Structure 1
């Protein structure tokens, strides 16, 4: 009997222990992130933003924009584009596809078609036309994008129930993030009125909410308002006086200084709304449109994940003219910070704090004005493009006979005259290498490599890896080259004001990456992260497949 009682007691202890363990497991169990995805993903690309802007402008930023993202979310401080050329269209495509131009095919803003000898704009599509606007600006679509985006995968994950919309002043900034199956992209059509419109790729008629938005005439309203400093002058961080020799005045203005009489500039241009692209009001207008889309399409209002892609184009337009040390650019970023706060407050109110996932990055960064760096005794300067091409022409003529050997120069690429090469019975690989050798003789050329070598060899590190990841044989040149750090192309009769981007050097590749909201931890990451990691990370949060050509990895430190 005693043995029976002991056995019963032991049995009850085992049962109780099992129930306790089960309760502990149940209490500690957390549903997978992807099983309760965010109601909305908001992707923000700031056109031409250096990561050090956050450091430099920190004490002037408000609490609800960049600072909120840093304090509540994940800040990847060492994020890079690991390819060249670093331009707007390749950048937007790479963020959302998770791959580089060698796979997604957007190798430049403006591409060259060998067969016709003509150009091809990155989102050009002559088979479509404008909806809500007329002219060539309407002949735009994602036709030239050759791989899928995270937006495409989200649409497939939800059987097409997701609402996916792109908004930007630049057409390429609105179109490429949405991929081929996104619902709509809206971009700015200039003119005397100025309005957001789209193309027949997406729809036959604008939704009523877009018509209502355009009827408000906000573009004209903003162009009637002056632009002055947001803060007292002594709060800004520029080392230069406002009137300096490194900045290019905007059209209609004699000096690149604040305040600007925007209305007078608008009138002087014949009331062209192109001016709006260069001033902070452009970012306000973009936010206005994004919030109109949020409301008009009821985005983030149910359990099906939607995606809103926003690109702020004005920092790039202004940055090219003024450079990263200008008073005007800092003021634009301080005002953009307020727009981000307005956007997130609206998301909190309409979608719910913690119910959406937001990321912010840039499509590229930018170099300081080389003339300014040179005057600071830095190694910087300019390379005369004509001199460089003439040097290649002369070298090839000496070796292969007189002729027009360089058919086209497009940024840091040379397209050779394949008809002349064939007529002379020459091996194209030999001619390409001879051209690369001539480029390497120039003291300000860091490297040059041929299409043949890029197509056949694998480059695992350095400049050639970056060039190769930005290269696609059917769309890229016969010879690619890189100028030395802080050197830009110079042209006849051009001044040395303003700046540019496109290189594989850190000042062009290092961009901010901030994530905040559903599925995101509060963390700071200082290891090197690739821009191609953005789309895979979002895929883990929303629970969808990786974009078909994605080569990046999810960022594990970010994921809850």
Structure 2
């Protein structure tokens, strides 16, 4: 009996060993991940990873990536302006606005002679909601390929690529030109929609997702606290501040928030709560299941952008209870998403990266309260005043058509028709601007490469300039200044508070560790190309971050 039991035990051990060896051989034989998951947090400062670290759960997304993956602690944005469209495009194209063409969330186009929204496309229609005016969108304004496009071409278009976000630009631009689909949130209907660029009608799985009416259910739950009041005060200022916005109504000034809506009201409030992250994750999971993503040796790509942190951050600022609470809940959502991917794709069989399209400035009211430098630029009033000054000096009316992206845009056709002295006007405008409290520096954009300034700043400004989509005079605001009103905050400048972003890596092919070496947003696509052994995007200027990758 003993010898029989011993033989069975030996057989069991041998079988286990053989299976383990098979698993090891299978993993070593796989030369690429089955799925790449790109996670972009819309408006995340790098320092949130350290400030809020004690609040992150061991099985949450942030802790998992930081402890089991690789963290590039000094990732910078290499251009201005640091805004959503430029950031999402830069991450996935590996280049800068001067090359990929997305010079802002919007810009004044000198060829079209009008303002242009980054992902607008008047040749397509919205799909998925009646009268979805926000559906006339596509990636056509992006001038280069993305890493998603390169993956599609490298696999003869067998790879599947899906983009998902609440914001249209957060879904469309990362997914590239050849995506299998991009879906964004229609606040009026509460549906995720797309455009005829991708489909004539929504895929059945998206229709079924919309039929669940998740936004309605989530809004009925309201926005409740995750911590005690004393715990929030360890990470943020008092909950009620007069420099915070009131996105849920004038009478709702502090947490918790009621999110009930009237019969004719849409679902816009959802975006400014952590529930926006929840519905984004749920659609991402539905996409993986319905599209069979990560099910074979052909690598797929899921580009997920979390838009709600941006809406929350703009309204309340980095030192608010709301931002703290959002990151607690986002950490949990990311953890659940990784649990789902472990179960469906397989642990260690997918690669995830997490970064941000930009960071954010502190609320000017907060800065003033704490005797820190900062202030406001009222861009609408400034534009009116500039035109009045130019008319008084040169007799030209309404020459300035836009202040998009911290640049003064002239009506160049008007200048040409009048045979005006552009050099004299530029000189006048520079002297005019340098007298303003909010200006650190100003110069003609044609002189970016010759105007005296630190080379680091010069490169960022030059990297954001494209003649037909950029202005004529560059404004460099002083540190702490924003273009906005008395409440809330924004981003867009070259300073570290806007340009220092997180970069985390996790999963297949990724080392465990961290580094403080400076890397750039535009290095992400080149690193993915190296991992996947495919061509980098057409306009790529980035370099693979070799310290991240297993050899």
Q: Same fold (TM over 0.5)?
A: yes
Q: Is the 8 A contact 1:35 1:543 kept in 2?
A: no
Further displaced range: 372-381 or 67-76: 372-381
Could you say which structure has the larger radius of gyration?
A: 1
2:52 and 2:235 in contact (8 A); partners too: no
Q: Which residue of 2 aligns with 1:550?
A: 540
Question: Shift of the alpha carbon at 1:424?
Answer: 3.5
Aligned match of 2:520 in 521, 525, 530? 530
For 2:51, the equivalent position in structure 1 comes to 56
Rounded Cα–Cα distance in structure 2 between residues aligned with 1:481 and 1:212: 48
Offset at residue 135 of structure 1 (A): 2.6
Match of 1:108 among 104, 108, 111: 104
CA 112–402 in structure 1, closer or farther in 2 if over 3 Å, else same: closer
> Cα deviation per residue 1:173-222 (whole Å; 9 max; x = unaligned)?
0000011011110111122x411121111122222211111111101111
Equivalent residue in structure 2 for 1:70, among 58, 66, 71: 66
Q: CA deviation at 1:34?
A: 10
Alpha-carbon contact 1:34-1:541 (below 8 Å) kept: no
**Matches of 2:48 and 2:145, distance apart in 1:** 31
Q: State the 1:118 CA deviation.
A: 2.5
Residue 438 of structure 1, CA deviation: 2.3
Q: Does 1:540 align with 2:530?
A: yes
Measured after TM superposition, the shift of residue 318 of structure 1 is 1.1
The one of 342, 346, 353 equivalent to 1:359 is 353
| 1:126-166 per-position Cα deviation (integer Å, ceiling 9, x unaligned) | 11112212332111100100011000000011000001000
Distance 1:166 1:215, change over 3 A: same
Equivalent pair of 2:410/2:472 in contact (CA under 8 Å): yes
Q: CA separation in 1, counterparts of 2:258 and 2:392?
A: 56
Number of equivalenced pairs: 523
- Which residue of structure 1 aligns with residue 239 of structure 2? 242
Match of residue 121, structure 1, among 112, 117, 121 = 117
**1:224 CA drift (Å):** 1.0
Task: Report which stretch shifted further, 177-186 or 460-469.
Answer: 460-469
Q: Secondary structure at the match of 2:116?
A: strand
Task: Map 1:303-342; keep pairs closer than 5 Å.
Answer: 303-342=297-336
CA distance in 2, matches of 1:511, 1:103: 21
Q: Which position in structure 2 is the counterpart of 1:45?
A: 40
Superposed displacement of residue 541, structure 1: 0.7
Give the 3 Å change call, closer, same or farther, for CA 282–253 of structure 1 in structure 2.
farther
- Specify which of 508, 514, 536 is matched with residue 518 of structure 1: 508
Tell me how far 1:536 sits from its aligned partner.
0.3
1:544 Cα deviation from its structure 2 partner: 0.6
Given that 1:533 and 1:555 are in contact with CA atoms closer than 8 Å, whether structure 2 keeps it comes out as yes
Range moving further from structure 2, 407-416 or 338-347: 407-416
Contact 1:388 1:439 in 2 (8 A): no
Instruction: Give the drift of 1:449.
Output: 2.7
**SS of 2:221 mapped into structure 1:** coil
CA positional deviation for 1:405: 3.0
Q: Which residue does 2:11 correspond to in 1?
A: none
User: What CA distance in whole angstroms lies between the structure 1 residues aligned with 2:115 and 2:102?
Assistant: 13
Secondary structure, counterpart of 1:251 in structure 2: coil
**Contact 2:479–2:495 at 8 Å: present in 1 too?**
yes
User: What are the superposed Cα offsets for residues 346-373 of structure 1, whole Å, 9 maximum, x if unpaired?
Assistant: 1111111110000000000000101111
The 5 Å alignment of 1:386-401 reads 388-389=382-383, 392-393=386-387, 396-397=390-391, 400-401=394-395
SS at match of 1:76: strand
Structure 2 equivalent of residue 23 of structure 1 = none
Equivalent position of 1:230 in the other structure:
226
Helix, strand or coil: the match of 2:50?
helix
For 2:464 and 2:111, the matched residues in 1 are separated by: 21
**Given the alignment, which residue of 72, 81, 84 partners 1:85?**
81
Worse-matched range after superposition: 243-252 or 167-176: 243-252
The Cα offsets for residues 481-530 of structure 1, whole Å up to 9 and x where unpaired, read as: 1100001124xxx4x11100000111000010000111110111101110
- C-alpha distance in structure 2 between counterparts of 1:301 and 1:457, whole Å: 54
2:22 alignment counterpart:
none
How many Å separate the matches in 1 of 2:45 and 2:278? 21
TM-score between both structures, scaled by the size of structure 1: 0.89
2: CA distance, partners of 1:76 / 1:33: 26
> Aligned to 1:202, which of 175, 198, 203?
198
| In the alignment, structure 1 residue 171 sits paired with structure 2 residue 157 | no
Equivalent residue, structure 2, for 1:428 = 422
> Residue 286 of structure 1: SS of its match in structure 2?
helix
Alpha-carbon separation, structure 1, partners of 2:514 and 2:68: 10
Q: Measure, in 1, the Cα distance between the counterparts of 2:339 and 2:27.
A: 27
After superposition, what is the alpha-carbon deviation per residue over 1:250-308, rounded to whole angstroms, capped at 9, x for unaligned? 13351331111112xx22x8331111111111100000000000111110010000000
For the aligned residues, what is the CA RMSD?
Answer: 2.2
Give the CA deviation at 1:442: 2.2
Q: Partner of 2:366 in structure 1?
A: 372
Distance 2:100 2:28 in 1: 29
1:439 aligns with 2:433: yes
Gap change, CA 1:382 and 1:519, over 3 Å in 2: same
Is the contact made by 1:391 and 1:438 (CA closer than 8 Å) also made in structure 2? no
SS of the aligned residue for 2:311 comes to helix
> CA offsets, 1:51-89, max 9 Å, x none?
111111111111121011000111011111011101100
Whole-Å separation in 2 of the counterparts to 1:180 and 1:34: 31
Contact 2:443 2:451 in 1 (8 A): no
Q: Which runs of 4+ in 1 moved over 6 A?
A: 30-35, 455-460
Kept after mapping to 2: 8 A contact 1:447/1:463: no
1:150 matches 2:147: yes
- The answer for the alignment partner of 1:18 in structure 2 is none
Matched with 1:254 is 251
The change in CA–CA distance for 1:125 and 1:459 in structure 2 (over 3 A counts) is farther
Residues 460 and 149 of structure 1: CA distance in aligned 2, closer, same or farther (over 3 Å): farther
Closer/same/farther in 2, CA of residues 546 and 226 from structure 1, 3 Å limit: same
1:500 and 2:490 equivalent?
A: yes
Moved more, 516-525 or 403-412: 403-412
